[in-house]
Amino acid sequence: MGRVLLAVVGLVVSVVLLSTAFFRWNLKAPGPLLQPRFPLGAFVRELPGHLLWLLPFVLLQASIIPLRAVQWQSTLRRRVPFRERYHLVAIGAFVHNALPGKLGDILRSFLLSRTERIPFLRCLGTVAVCKLMEFAALMLLVSVSLLGPFGATLTRFEGQLKVAVSLCVGLVALVVLLAHWSTPLAESLHQRHRLPRVEAFLHHVSDGLGTARSTRGMARVFVFSVGPVLASALAYGLALHGIGISGGLFAGAVVLGAISLGQALPGVPAGMGLYYFVTSWAARGLGASPEDAAAFATLTHLGTVLSQAGVGAISVHVRKIRIRDLRKGGSLAREAAHHVAHESVEPAPP
């Protein structure tokens, strides 16, 4: 019953957030509760006019998958074939974009641990370092965007940017501290014969975050993280330029940053609604008309799903994985959840 209630609440919240791209909620003034931001019929008729920028957007979004496959190797201890990394990243992208829960990164970590016989938490740690360095690269790109010709308009997001940069610095510092001190803390607990589960968890954390113990290693991951971030930021920049925002190419990173912060937590059931809310709000804040902002949100969502979920579906087929096994409650999803819940309390392998 609790799961059903959570699903219903998530659906309602998602619908409400999604509706803000097309309607204003009239909560105080007299009149209808929902007021259209623009004529919906004219909006639908004019959508085909935006398809010119949709194709390059789809291609750039699809390129993120091989770029992330290259990036992932920089955090792994041993060599994993590119083909294997590519398929696992693509399957994770499919799960993230086509199935609820945003659990693609957890599932690709689980599949790598299964195929390469690497402890699951170690795999999850390598993915976490990749995501963190992507976040750092994105914050750098957003900061550079403030120096471009669109900088005066982007300054209205300065407060949010400061919060995001502070969060990024804090996360990097936390990861570095965990990478350096997890093993000493685990050994201290072992000597005192106390908290064996915490000791095992710290060993796994140390293994997964091994790259973060080296400045050179972190710098190398950062360099490989620029590619996927730049491709996605350019895709959103082209879309902003396509809806008529002058200098929109320089604002793609800002929109991508807003999307990343809005969908940072896995398992949130209102992910699609958050996407429409964030993208339409950001586009309007950058000067787009409400109609163009809604088209931007609709078509970039469609393009992302078509590109990443479409490419991922090919890998799902190649690896002979059934869709029902990837859904919440499916066999692979259950096994991944079991690893998340239980591997951290098992002794770390040598």
> DSSP labels for 88-103?
HHHHHHHHHHHSTT--
User: Which two tokens mark 127?
Assistant: 């993915």
pLDDT of residue 333: 64
pLDDT of residue 287: 85
CA 14 to chain centre: 17
Q: Kindly report, residue by residue over 259-282, the tens digit of the pLDDT.
A: 877 665 555 555 788 889 989 988
Q: Kindly report, residue by residue over 84-133, the tens digit of the pLDDT.
A: 999 999 999 998 888 776 778 888 998 998 888 888 888 888 898 898 88
pLDDT of residue 343: 57
CA angle 225-231-234, nearest 5°? Answer: 130
State the DSSP H helix or E strand holding residue 294, giving kind and residue range, or none if neither.
helix 290-304
pLDDT of residue 349: 47
Domain ranges, ordered by start, for the chain = 50-345
Q: pTM of the predicted model, to two decimals?
A: 0.82
Nearest to 135 by CA among 46, 241, 26, 258: 258
Nearest to 112 by CA among 149, 151, 69: 69
Q: Give the Cα separation of 185 and 280 in Å (integer).
A: 46
Q: Give the Cα separation of 237 and 342 in Å (integer).
A: 42
Are 251 and 155 in contact, with CB atoms under 8 Å apart? no
User: Which two tokens mark 107?
Assistant: 């599932």
End-to-end CA distance of the chain: 43
Which pLDDT tens digits describe the chain residue by residue (350 residues)? 666 776 677 788 888 889 999 998 887 767 778 888 889 888 888 888 888 899 999 999 999 999 999 999 998 888 999 999 999 999 999 988 887 767 788 889 989 988 888 888 888 888 988 988 888 888 888 877 777 666 666 566 666 666 766 776 777 777 777 777 777 887 887 777 777 777 777 776 676 676 777 778 888 989 999 999 999 999 999 999 999 887 778 888 888 887 877 665 555 555 788 889 989 988 888 888 999 999 999 999 999 988 988 999 999 999 888 877 776 656 676 676 666 656 555 544 44
